[in-house]
Amino acid sequence: MAIDFSLTPEQRELRTAARDAAASILTEVAPAVRGLDTPEARWKATRPIYQHLVEQGWLRRILPAPAGGEGQGLVDLALVAEEFAMVESGVSLTLFAVTLGLTPLLMAGNEEQLREHLPRFLAAEGAPLAAFAFSEPGGSANYDAPPPAEGIRTTAVRDGDDWVINGSKKWVSSAGGWDGAGADVITVVCRTGEPGTPPEQALSVLLVPGPADGITLDTSLDLLGHKAHQTPVVSFHDVRVPASAVLGAPGAGRDLVAASFTGTAALVGVFALAKMRAAFEYTLEFARTQSRGGAAPIIGHQAIGYALADAKGSIEAVRYLCWKACHALDTSAPGALELALHAKIVGSETAVRVITDLMRVVGIESYDEQAGPLPELLRDALVYPVFDGGNMGVRRRQLHALLQGPDYDPCATWL
């Protein structure tokens, strides 16, 4: 058996190109949003930067090759995500949220649906947005729960040849669009079954092209981190789409939701990795150059050196866990889901710990917004354990279910 973590020449080239793009494009975000007080103002200020990424082909490069893009799998996405998220969070998340918004379409769309909705995302022009409208006010950890639990509350009811959608969604990246009337494509998880319908048949995912009558942007959340990204509450008021807007079969939404959030788990681990790496590189340079009133740089102190060594070890461990998870998903390996869940949980929780530990190395100046990037990195990292399926409410529960399965093989993740 061969174990090989080396990148291909093409992947190395992709990583270098992503690093260069991040340095030349994403560094524009901070000055663009500086001094803007509202979430929507900051979000709209990022549109030219996001458009620049699209025009440089980065959206096409991360969309899968079978759909007309250039992406060769999740490992390639991980390489780009690490370089982008290390430099900036908001626009990076906007870019990658498009892939999530399109995932149900890519997984279950028919030829007509793909032909109608994908071209604008492959054209390397404009600022197209796609959103996966899943989470709802009040939480969606038990989204498939049948009555008397609430589960998904957004409904889609047949009216002749149309579906009529009513409800609200929250935490949906970019769903409000640039003008508040909806993203270019929104894949909406709705309850379509009659009362008493089993959970595995009660939900559907519908395609809603935006802007659309009846979509309203209720508010953009002012978050602790990710300040340059739109995370809105949107409402659907009698939004009508044709019967053909269903992705897959009516009632097949539960499995499509679960499949859509498998790959994202590994990528959240990569986002967390990026924040750790940025914090480590800053702190390493700080330790090499700052004496803090002593006779020599603080890196000479054993405690500082050990803290840096521990942080670097954690970064390397998370990187290879994430890479293995992405590779397992790309190759449909038996333990792919479990590895993806571990990448998300371990990566996100390790990032919070490592960044906090590195702040102790820097000392009190790490708490100063003007002194360095560590406060922003920590704020951004704090979301990773609780979004894309919270580690407590969703991801650990998924692992628990795997462990309880009669066919669970603890060695499957070795392959």
pLDDT the model gives residue 1: 52
1 within domain boundaries = no
Return the SS3 of 131.
strand
Residue-wise pLDDT for 247-260, tens only, equals 999 999 999 999 99
Is it the case that residue 2 has pLDDT exceeding 70? no
Overall domain count for the chain = 3
Q: Within this chain, do residues 179 and 35 fall inside the same structural domain, yes or no? A: no
Query: In the listed set 251, 276, 301, which residue is the last one of a domain according to the structure?
Result: 251
Of the three residues 68, 90, 122, the one that is the final residue of a domain is 122
CA-based nearest residue to 397, from 188, 145, 93: 145
Whether residues 117 and 136 share a domain: the answer is no
CATH of the domain at 243: 2.40.110.10
On the question of pLDDT at 14 being above 80, the answer is yes
What are the helix and strand counts (H, E) for the chain?
15, 7
Q: Is residue 3 part of a domain?
A: no
Percent of the chain exceeding pLDDT 70 equals 100
Whether 226 and 259 share a structural domain: no
388 part of the active site:
yes
Residue 392 CB contacts under 8 Å (≥ 6 apart), including other chains = none
The CA-to-CA distance between both ends of the chain, in Å, stands at: 10
Task: Indicate if 30 and 141 belong to the same structural domain.
Answer: no
Helix (H, G, I), strand (E, B) or coil at 184: coil
Residue 147 clears pLDDT 90, i.e. is over it: no
Which range among 136-150, 222-236, 316-330 shows the weakest confidence by mean pLDDT?
Answer: 136-150
- The verdict on 151 and 216 lying in the same domain is yes
Half-sphere exposure of 77 (CA within 13 A, CB side): 34
Q: Buried b / exposed e across 313-331, counting CB within 10 Å, b at 16+? A: ebbeebbebbbbbbbbbbe
Domain boundary among the residues 251, 277, 301 is at 251
Same domain flag for 201 and 134: yes
| Strand-pair partners of 167 | 236
Q: Are residues 56 and 97 in the same domain?
A: yes
Q: What pLDDT score was predicted for residue 149?
A: 83
Q: Is the domain of 88 the same as that of 183?
A: no
Residue 157 lies in a domain: yes
410 and 277 within one domain? yes
Residues 136 and 106 in one domain: no
Residue 4, in any domain of the structure: no
Q: Which two tokens stand for residue 413?
A: 């993740």
Which residue in 76, 144, 380, 388 is the catalytic one? 388
In this structure, the answer to whether residues 115 and 142 fall within a common structural domain is: no
pLDDT of 3 above 80? no
Is the domain of 59 the same as that of 193? no
- pLDDT computed for residue 240 by the predictor: 96
Q: What is the pTM of this model?
A: 0.95
User: Residue 102 sits in which domain range?
Assistant: 9-122
197 band by pLDDT with thresholds 50, 70 and 90? confident
- Whole-number pLDDT of residue 270: 98
